[in-house]
Amino acid sequence: MNNLYLESFKTFFKIGLFTFGGGYAMIPLIEAEVVDKKRWISKEDFMDLLAIAQSCPGVFAINISIFIGYRLRGVKGGISCAVGTALPSFLIILLIAIFFHQFKENPYVAALFRGIRPAVVALIAVPTFNLAKKAKLNRFTIWIPVVSALLIWLCGVSPILIILAAAFSGFFVGKAKRNKKEGG
Asked if 27 and 131 count as a contact pair (C-beta separation under 8 A), the reply is yes
Give the global pTM.
0.61
Please indicate, yes or no, whether residues 151 and 96 belong to a single structural domain of this protein: no
Asked if 19 and 26 count as a contact pair (C-beta separation under 8 A), the reply is yes
Please indicate, yes or no, whether residues 127 and 150 belong to a single structural domain of this protein: no
Chain centroid, CA 179 distance in Å:
33
pLDDT at 80: 95
Please indicate, yes or no, whether residues 162 and 127 belong to a single structural domain of this protein: no
Query: How far, in Å, CA of 177 to CA of 184, rounded?
Result: 10
Question: For residue 119, is it left (φ>0), alpha (ψ between -120 and 50) or beta?
Answer: alpha
Please indicate, yes or no, whether residues 117 and 49 belong to a single structural domain of this protein: yes
Please indicate, yes or no, whether residues 47 and 121 belong to a single structural domain of this protein: yes
Q: Is it the case that residue 1 has pLDDT exceeding 50?
A: no
Please indicate, yes or no, whether residues 82 and 145 belong to a single structural domain of this protein: no
Please indicate, yes or no, whether residues 27 and 115 belong to a single structural domain of this protein: yes
* pLDDT tens column, 71-129: 999 999 999 999 999 999 899 889 888 887 777 778 888 888 788 888 878 877 877 77
Residue 59 buriedness (CB in 10 A; 0-12 / 13-18 / 19+): middle
Tally of structural domains, the chain: 2
Please indicate, yes or no, whether residues 128 and 71 belong to a single structural domain of this protein: yes
Residues 6+ apart with CB under 8 A from 147: none
Enclosing domain of residue 162: 138-184
Q: Which of 26, 35, 88, 29 is nearest to 63 (CA)?
A: 26
Confidence of residue 135 (pLDDT cuts 50, 70, 90): confident
Please indicate, yes or no, whether residues 90 and 170 belong to a single structural domain of this protein: no
How many other C-beta atoms are found inside a 10 Å radius of the C-beta of residue 42? 10
Q: Which of 50, 52, 43, 57 is nearest to 27 (CA)?
A: 50
Please indicate, yes or no, whether residues 11 and 52 belong to a single structural domain of this protein: yes
